[in-house]
Amino acid sequence: MITIQGLSKSFTTRSGERVDALRDVSLDVGENEFLTVLGPSGCGKTTLLRAVAGLVPWDGGDIAVDGSPVRGPGPDRAVVFQNFALLPWATVLDNVAFGLRMRGVGRAERAERARSLIATVGLEGCEAKLPGELSGGMQQRVGIARALTVRPRVLLMDEPFGAVDEQTRRLLQEELLAIWEEHRMTVVFITHSMEEAVLLGDRVALMSARPGRIAEIVPVRLPRPRSRDVGGVARSGEYAEITAYLWERLRDMHAEHRPDRAHRPDEVAS
Amino acid sequence: MTAPTPVEHRPGGARRRPAAARLRRLPAAPVSLAAGAAAWEAVGRTADASALPPLSTVLDRLVEATRQGTIASSLADSLVNLALGLVISLAAGLLVGTAMGRWRRVDAALGVYVHALLAAPSLVFAPVFFSLLGAGRASIVAVVVTYAVFVVVVNTAAGVRSVPPHLVEMAHSYGASERQVLVRVVLPAAAPLIMAGVRLGVGRAVTGMINGEMFISVVGLGRLVTEAGGRFDSAGVLAVLLIVIAVALAALALVQAVDRTVTRWVPRTWKEER
């Protein structure tokens, strides 16, 4: 479904330093797969997602969706943003219908499809409200509904629940899983939470920082539908094991980037 | 002294007296206007200076001039100058400001002119217009535009530049064209700053109108001011001034009505009365 091959991107910081945001990243995401991308902050996971979305250029390598190379945003992909990116002057209905409007869908059909998605994310009755009148969790529900109205084949989610509180986050995870069980699609989900990565993903792509690269792909062979309920996979030993393993790997990565614990080749040699 | 009811225990605050409460409930703007009028009247009467007649004298003069019919025709003349100048200023200001805010090269090319002309005393261009456009309406409208347009340009450019990049990126992710980004994201997001510029522009346009009418071709309200000044008729000058102020306030009220509808979504940060 999504093929990423040898993707590299570097940028220059304000202080003139060259940073490899992504170096030689190769990754395949299957049709209707739920892939979570986990990594320390600054590992380039958001850059990777933005490249797949066609929102940023890259230096080398190829990205293809369904065999056709990515050269910009396309109707086959929709993005859910970490900071929601809702238009503060537009009602919930208009925000949800925004993508359809950009794609030239007529007013009546826009409203109908938007209303149905608003119901799916549980926001009936909020159609005429402004984003500023909603809680963070409700705002991200609007963001998810907006992405789903355009019926994308690939849903790109950039730490979508990173800006909401823990309780809301859990609710949103469960709702996202329920929506995905019903409308299967390919999802790439960026997160910095081990638990979230394991609960949601078919596989976890573990990234390391500076240079940003795929360190390991960890399969999550937990049965679906997944839940946190008694008897749900989130209570299983395997869930705990994978989560613990991911944390172990992440802690090692963080340690490598601490100057006092840095691995220094010259010292090893002497 | 009655026993205090629980309601009266406000944290850190004294009990509110009934008189103070009544005063707080009075509408602020009319009270302020009445106070200003009373002060004018008092200063005018005590100073007894010919340059500052009391408000009552000025109002008498205003009624008299209105009866003679000179005010109505001059006012109509001036309003046409103001309206033409404002329409041109808004159209040009929005266009140039949006281009400067959106494209760095346009900003680099035009920014220096805009800021220079914003700072320059606009009246110095009056002789230029006079010689190029003659002594007619065109020159006065041009003066109005030089007074009003640059502040609209500067604010529009600032508003367009301040649009959150993540909103533009979101629009791009849905395949929005540059025109769609401008109309559906950039301009609505910039509306609060644009409207602030329009408000300033309207005030400056009224100034430009009067100055143009006084210094280029003696028409409209500017002519009334000039004539009254020539007669050393201070009450007459101030009577016209009252009309000019009324025009400015009416124009501002119009702008504020538009402002309220386009920036309804902006959260208000000022302190509300309890």
A42 CA to chain B: closest CA distance, Å? 18
Instruction: Tell me the percentage of chain A whose pLDDT exceeds 90.
Output: 78
Whether B188 sits inside 8 A of A87 (CB atoms) is: yes
Single out the residue in A151, A182, A197 at which a domain terminates.
A151
Higher pLDDT, B22 or A158: A158
Question: Do the Cβ atoms of B166 and A130 come within 8 Å?
Answer: no
The CA distance from B187 to the nearest CA of chain A, in Å, is: 11
**Which member of B167, B171, B189 has the closest CB to residue A102?**
B171
Q: Residue A137: which domain range? A: 85-151
Residue A241 token pair: 């094991």
Do A174 and A72 share a structural domain? yes
Do A150 and A119 form a contact (C-beta atoms < 8 A)?
no
Q: Are residues A223 and A105 part of one domain?
A: no
pLDDT score at B216? 79
Angle among Cα A100, A105, A108 to the nearest 5 degrees reads: 105
Please determine, looking at this structure, whether the domain spanning B55-262 carries the CATH number 1.10.630.10. no
Q: For residue A29, give how far its alpha carbon lies from the nearest alpha carbon of chain B (Å).
A: 20
Residues in A closer than 8 angstroms to B186, CB to CB, are none
Verify whether the Cβ–Cβ distance A88 to B265 is below 8 Å: yes
CA distance A141 to A131: 11
Predicted confidence at residue A256, as pLDDT, reads 76
Q: Are strands A34-38 and A186-191 parallel, antiparallel or unpaired?
A: parallel
pTM attached to this predicted model: 0.83
Q: Is pLDDT above 80 for B250?
A: yes
Domain termination site, one of A118, A151, A184: A151
For residue A130, which residues of chain B lie inside 8 Å, CB to CB?
265
Residue A181 burial (CB count, 10 A): 11
Is residue A150 within 8 angstroms of chain B, CB to CB? yes
Give me the residue from A53, A79, A132 closest to B265, CB to CB.
A132
Contact between residue A10 and residue A56 where contact means Cβ atoms under 8 Å apart: no
Interface of B with A in 243-272 (CB under 8 A): 264-267
Mark which residues 56-95 of A lie under 8 Å from B by CB.
73-75, 77-79, 81, 83, 85, 87-90
**Residue A270 within a domain:** no
Could you give the percent of chain B with pLDDT greater than 70? 92
Q: Are residues A16 and A131 in the same domain?
A: no
Residue A50 lies in a domain: yes
Whether residue B183 has pLDDT greater than 90: yes
Task: Note whether A250 and A128 are same-domain residues.
Answer: no
* Residue B39, SS3 per DSSP: helix
Q: How confident is the model at residue A267 (pLDDT cuts 50, 70, 90)?
A: very low
**Distance from C-alpha of B219 to C-alpha of A176, rounded to nearest angstrom:** 70
Closest by Cβ to A102, choosing from B175, B189, B264:
B175
Q: Specify whether A162 is located in the same domain as A62.
A: yes
Residue B5 scores a pLDDT above 70: no
> Is A23 in the same domain as A90?
no
Residue A79, min C-alpha distance to chain B (Å): 7
Average pLDDT along chain B: 88
The Cα B93–Cα B133 span in angstroms is 21
Domain boundaries, chain B: 55-262
Q: Across chain A, what does the average pLDDT equal?
A: 91
Look at the block and give the residue holding tokens 């066609």.
A54
pLDDT of residue B3: 52
Count of CB contacts below 8 A, A vs B?
54
**Which of A151, A173, A204 lies at the terminal end of a domain, its last residue?**
A151
CATH assignment at residue A175: 3.40.50.300
b/e code A161-175 from CB counts within 10 Å (16+ = b): bebbeeebbbbbbbb
The per-residue pLDDT for B214 is 87
Residue of A nearest to B174 (CA): A99
* Contacting residues for B199 by C-beta, under 8 A, at least 6 apart: B252, B255, B256, B259
Q: Which two tokens stand for residue A195?
A: 């638990």
Phi/psi at B15 (nearest 5 deg)?
A: -65, 140
Residues A210 and A253 in one domain: yes
d(CA A122, CA A104): 26
Give every CB contact of residue B67 below 8 A, 6+ residues apart in sequence.
none
pLDDT in tens, B222-238: 888 888 888 888 998 99
Is A127 within the bounds of a domain?
Answer: yes
Work out the minimum CA distance from A45 to partner chain B, whole angstroms: 17
Give the chain B residue whose CA is nearest to the CA of A89. B265
Kindly provide the ipTM of the predicted complex, given to two decimals. 0.90
Contact A144, A161 (CB under 8 A): no
Cis ω before B165 (30° cut-off from 0): no
- pLDDT at residue B263, rounded to an integer: 86
- pLDDT at residue B10, rounded to an integer: 52
Test the A interface: residue of B163, B168, B174 with most A CBs within 10 Å: B174
Show the tokens assigned to A133: 């009148």
Q: How large a percentage of chain A has pLDDT more than 70? A: 95
A241-266 pLDDT per residue, tens? 999 999 999 998 888 776 665 554 44
Q: Percent of chain B at pLDDT above 90?
A: 59
Whether A200 has a pLDDT exceeding 80, the answer reads yes
C-alpha A84, offset from chain centre: 12
Q: Is residue A142 part of a domain?
A: yes
Dihedral sign for Cα atoms in the order A142, A145, A149, A150: positive
Total domains in chain A come to 2
pLDDT of residue A265: 47
Task: List the one residue out of A120, A127, A67 whose CA is nearest residue A94.
Answer: A127
Contact at CB, B166 and A81, closer than 8 angstroms:
yes
pLDDT band at residue A268 using 50, 70 and 90 as cut-offs: very low
Nearest residue, CB atoms, A81 vs list B170, B184, B264: B170
Of B175, B185, B264, the CB nearest to A73: B175
Same domain, A100 and A58: no
Return the residue in A47, A52, A83, A102 with the most chain B beta carbons within 10 A, the one to mutate for interface testing. Answer: A102
CB-CB neighbors (< 8 A) of A55 in chain B: 169, 172-173
Ordered DSSP codes for B208-220: HHHHHHHHTS--H
Query: Would you state the pLDDT for residue A260?
Result: 62
pLDDT of residue A168: 94
Nearest chain A residue (CA) to B165? A85
Q: How far apart are CA A247 and CA B7, in angstroms?
A: 55
A117 and A67 co-located in one domain: no
Q: CB-based contacts of B155: which residues, under 8 Å, 6+ apart?
A: B97, B193, B194, B196, B197, B198, B200
Interval A104-160: pLDDT, tens:
999 999 999 999 999 999 999 999 999 999 999 999 999 999 999 999 999 999 999
- Whether residues A133 and A221 share a domain: the answer is no
> Does the distance separating the beta carbons of B174 and A99 come in below 8 Å?
yes
Type of residue at A265 = P
Mean pLDDT along residues A16-34: 92
A269 domain residue, yes or no:
no
Region of A210 (left: φ > 0; alpha: ψ -120 to 50; beta: rest) is left
pLDDT grade, residue B127 (50/70/90)?
confident
B12 inside 8 A of chain A by CB: no
Mean pLDDT of A37-66: 93
B168 touches chain A (CB under 8 A): no
Which tokens sit at A47? 């850059």
Residue of A nearest to B175 (CA): A73
Lowest mean pLDDT among A30-39, A76-85, A257-266, B116-125: A257-266
Q: By CA distance, what is A80's nearest residue in B?
A: B170
Q: Encoding tokens for residue B261?
A: 């509808």
Contacts of A92 in chain B (CB under 8 A): none
A24 and A112 in a single domain? The answer is no
Residue A99 is predicted with a pLDDT of: 96
User: Are A99 and A171 within one domain?
Assistant: no
